[in-house]
Amino acid sequence: MPTSVTVPELGESVTEATVTQWLKKEGEAVEVDEPLLEVSTDKVDTEIPSPVSGVLTRIVVAEDETVDIGAEIAIIGEAGDVPAEGGAPEAEKAEPEPTPEPAPEPESAPVPAAPAAPAAEAPAAPAAPAAPRASREDATPPVDVETISGTGQVSGTDAVTEAYVTPLVRKLAAEQGVDLSRVQGTGVGGRIRKQDVQEAARRQKEAASAPAAAPAPAAAAPKRTVTVDTTLRGRTEQMSRLRQGIAEQMADSLRVSAETTQVVEVDVTNIARLRGVAAEQFEAREGVELDFFPFFALAAVEALKSHPKLNAVIDSSNYEVTYHAIENLGVSVDTERGLLAPVIKDAGDLNLGGLARKIADLSERAHTGLLNPDELSGGTFTLADTSGSGVLFNTPIINQPQVAILATGEVVKRPVVVEDPELGEVIAVRSTVYFALTHDHRLIDTGDAGRFLQTVKERLEEGAFEAELGLA
């Protein structure tokens, strides 16, 4: 009996998905849980597996087509079944479409009056179809592919849209040291596929006189840096689905919550000292660098246990408050596609090393589009890091349905008045950082928020993390 394959739930607030690549063709056998296709949403790229074993008898949705969650995308038949007539003409027509190049001949057809004219212009006729194709391709290289993919779908024929280079392809390109702007896509509409990157990598290795390992570090760097798209000047475009989602969520948050922000300055000199002593040993043991952010995350999670009001959710329909018994910490990541907040589940059960590993892992996969849908939902409190842009502090907007968000700024050295046991008040150079807490005043009063911030401040300024670092 035929089995319908539908788009599954892919995370909170995700309402549609775009088919980016079919991994199986009509008529091919598939096993249960074997990946059938890749889809892209406003938050993640993921694979959809086959729910049963059998034969892919019909592809309902072609590549680069967007459908709602729950929509039918394919039909799996029993072994021995043959593809249905006209099953997925769009998927197959997409490839032949560029092939019938004779179509441009009508451009010279308006001059058929004189038989000699077409004969004389015959050499020009083949050049005519090549010209428009070249102009479309020539318009692509000047555009930074990773940058455009972060700004969403661009209108017009002079730019690459987000669908053409998925995070999965960008990750593969980074691993292989392939410059995507030099790759000619063979997918629908010129989309760059995995096979194109693999072929480009193979050619690079053959052409290189030296080992191809050198380009890899240069290609890996952009994953951590969001480039600025200067081609935006004077352009009108549709906001990406991710950007639309962020816009709706942020505006809705301000409509729902009574948001106010408090800021404190924290002296993290003791943590800076510990990092200098334990960084090398920590990285060797945990496999990640010892940054300030894991310390901030640990202090925030510990404070949530003492201040449960900030780890809650409000049901506005009946003014009911639920105080969470766990700490699921959302951590903001600034990616090429937009801001994401993957969630560290049960963060309250992790130590400093565990938090550092989870933060590094989620951040890496947020940049490469390999997060699972459930890793972008279920947060009870969010910690936002704005230090990457050199900002001292900002006023973050609450990630609904949470009731608070804590933003950390850049750690800087500044002269501070401190108390010396022998000299009294002296001016010393200290490492400091600002913490900005936005909270929902419907539940959390100014005093509640202030006490939470003081708990975080005292924990960090004390700097008693020797046991966590194996120095005790």
Residues labelled catalytic: 441, 445
At 365, the amino acid letter reads R
Structure tokens at 44: 């993640």
Structure tokens at 92: 């197959």
What's the rounded Cα separation, in Å, for the pair 53 and 439? 50
**CA triple 336-167-389, angle to 5 deg:** 20
Q: Which residues of 252-271 are buried (b: 16+ CB within 10 A; e: fewer)?
A: ebeeebebebeeeebbbbbb
Nearest to 12 by CA among 443, 399, 439: 399
Structure tokens at 355: 């938090």
- Please give the backbone phi and psi of residue 246, each rounded to the nearest 5 degrees, phi first: -60, -45
Kindly report the three-state secondary structure assignment for every residue of the chain: CCEEEECCCCCCCCCEEEEEEECCCCCCEECCCCEEEEEECCCCEEEEECCCCEEEEEECCCCCCEEECCCEEEEEECCCCCCCCCCCHHHHHCCCCCCCCCCCHHHCCCCCCCCHHHHHHCCHHHHHHHHHHHHHHHCCCCCCHHHHHHHCCCCCCCCCCHHHCCHHHHHHHHHHCCCHHHCCCCCHHHCCCHHHHHHHHHHHHHHCCCCCCCHHHHHHHHHCCCCCCHHHCCCCCCCCHHHHHHHHHHHHHHHHCCEEEEEEEEECHHHHHHHHHHHHHHHHHHCCCCCCHHHHHHHHHHHHHHCHHHCEEEECCCCEEEECCCCCEEECEECCCCEECCEECCHHHCCHHHHHHHHHHHHHHHHHCCCCHHHHCCCCEEEEECHHHCCCCCCCCCCCCCCEEEEECCCEEEEEEEEECCCEEEEEEEEEEEEEEEEECCCCCHHHHHHHHHHHHHHHHHCCCCCCCCCC
- Please give the backbone phi and psi of residue 189, each rounded to the nearest 5 degrees, phi first: 70, 20
Dihedral sign, CA of 80, 85, 86, 87? negative
